[in-house]
């Protein structure tokens, strides 16, 4: 990714650290909308229909269960986002360096998407699937059995009952979502930045936020079906990918695969801006610190 400093060679450790910081900030600030979106995508309880308006969902939960309920599962998502975004920024930046044009430092749109897709697959395997499983199970459990006391307790129970495969419920749907979402989100963002570079458009907080928001819109519309399937697969009871697809079709038909789009759009427009703005800012802070440490160590070694 082209950083806000236009440094084509952002060190791997800086990409990893800045991505982790950005992921944690983005996950925490936008979590209530993520909570509402997940509630809508889960199967409705008999006689208790779930509103489609995200703000109504948030308001109802707040009135009935308090502010803490809106952050049920948040810790799992924040931890997962730190790892996920650290990994995917790291891999995206390194892939971009490998395939970028040596003169301009840019990638073709197709290679931008391919770099994002690769980063998304790696992130899903290493961090996203298990943390998303815990987050979704906690949100689902909170409206039913309420047997999970915390993210750690939920992890322990699921592990005991289903083993490691229980933590990877919905792996196919999550990986499809992550591969496509990261391809569209990071690919779109980088395409916009490369375009702006050729037009000498200044890169600042406003342009970073705008680019991230546009990337969020594109990502949501293109990948919503994978997100719905993932949520159904990772409910408290869990389900296979095929079972998740079947229940969505039975409940809502084909349109059901875009259930929660409005809520996710509200989150991704906001979170996309926050994520990339935070990343660019973190790179500007961490890169000089890292360079200073490397220079000091090198000087002492000499």
Mind listing the pLDDT tens digit for each residue in 188-243? 998 998 889 888 898 899 999 999 999 999 999 888 888 888 888 877 677 788 88
CATH of domain 12-297: 1.50.40.10
Q: How many CB atoms lie within 10 A of CB 198?
A: 9
Q: Give the distance, in angstroms, between the CA of residue 48 and the centroid of all CA atoms in the same chain.
A: 29
Buried b (16+ CB within 10 A) or exposed e, 224-243: bbbbbbbbbbbbbebbebee
Position 3 scores a pLDDT of 41
Torsion of CA 67, 228, 269, 24, to 10 degrees: 60
Task: Give the residue carrying structure tokens 């309920």.
Answer: 69
User: For residue 147, what pLDDT is reported?
Assistant: 86
Give the whole-angstrom CA distance, residue 116 versus residue 181. Answer: 8
Query: Which pair of structure tokens corresponds to residue 169?
Result: 């419920």
pLDDT confidence of residue 13: 93
In the chain, domain spans: 12-297
Q: What was the pLDDT predicted at 230?
A: 82
Q: Mean pLDDT in each 10-residue stretch from start to end of the chain (302 residues)? A: 50 93 92 80 65 75 84 84 89 80 76 86 87 86 81 91 89 85 90 88 92 93 87 78 89 88 82 93 93 82 69
Q: How far is CA 248 from CA 65, 264, 299, in A?
A: 27, 17, 61
Q: What percent of the chain has pLDDT over 70?
A: 92
d(CA 283, CA 104): 21
pLDDT value at residue 47: 58
**Predicted local confidence at residue 280, as pLDDT:** 93
* Structure-token match 């909308």, residue found: 33
The answer to whether 278 and 26 have CB atoms below 8 angstroms apart is yes
Q: What is the pLDDT of residue 214?
A: 95
pLDDT at 4: 40
Dihedral sign, Cα of residue 13, residue 19, residue 22, residue 25: negative
Three-state DSSP class for residue 45: strand
Give the pLDDT confidence score for residue 50 in this predicted structure: 64
Any idea what the Cα angle at residue 41 is, between residues 37 and 44, rounded to 5°?
120
Pair 130, 165: CB distance under 8 Å = no
């Amino acid at each position: 990714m082209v950083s806000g400093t236009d440094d084509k060679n952002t060190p791997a450790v800086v990409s990893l650290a800045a991505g982790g910081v950005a992921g944690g900030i983005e996950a925490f600030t936008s979590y209530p909308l993520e909570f509402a979106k997940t509630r809508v995508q889960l199967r409705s309880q008999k006689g208790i229909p779930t509103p489609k308006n995200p703000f109504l969902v948030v308001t109802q939960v707040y009135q009935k269960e308090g502010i803490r309920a809106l952050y049920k599962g948040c810790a799992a998502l924040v931890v997962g986002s730190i790892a996920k975004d650290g990994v995917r920024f790291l891999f995206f930046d390194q892939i971009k360096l490998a395939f970028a044009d040596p003169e301009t430092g840019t990638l073709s749109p197709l290679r931008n998407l391919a770099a994002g897709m690769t980063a998304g697959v790696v992130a899903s395997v290493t961090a996203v699937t298990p943390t998303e499983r815990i987050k979704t199970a906690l949100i689902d459990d909170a409206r039913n059995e309420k047997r999970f006391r915390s993210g750690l307790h939920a992890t322990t129970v699921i592990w005991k009952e289903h083993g490691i495969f229980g933590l990877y419920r919905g792996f196919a749907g999550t990986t499809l979502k992550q591969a496509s979402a990261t391809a569209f989100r990071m690919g779109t963002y980088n395409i916009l930045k490369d375009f702006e570079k050729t037009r000498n458009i200044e890169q600042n907080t406003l342009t970073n936020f705008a680019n991230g928001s546009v990337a969020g819109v594109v990502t949501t519309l293109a990948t919503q079906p994978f997100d719905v399937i993932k949520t159904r697969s990772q409910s408290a009871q869990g389900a296979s990918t095929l079972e998740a697809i079947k229940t969505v079709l039975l409940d809502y038909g084909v349109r059901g695969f875009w259930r929660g789009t409005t809520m996710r759009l509200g989150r991704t427009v906001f979170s996309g801006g926050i994520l990339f703005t935070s990343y660019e800012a973190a790179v500007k802070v961490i890169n000089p610190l890292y360079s200073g440490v490397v220079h000091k160590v090198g000087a002492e070694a000499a």
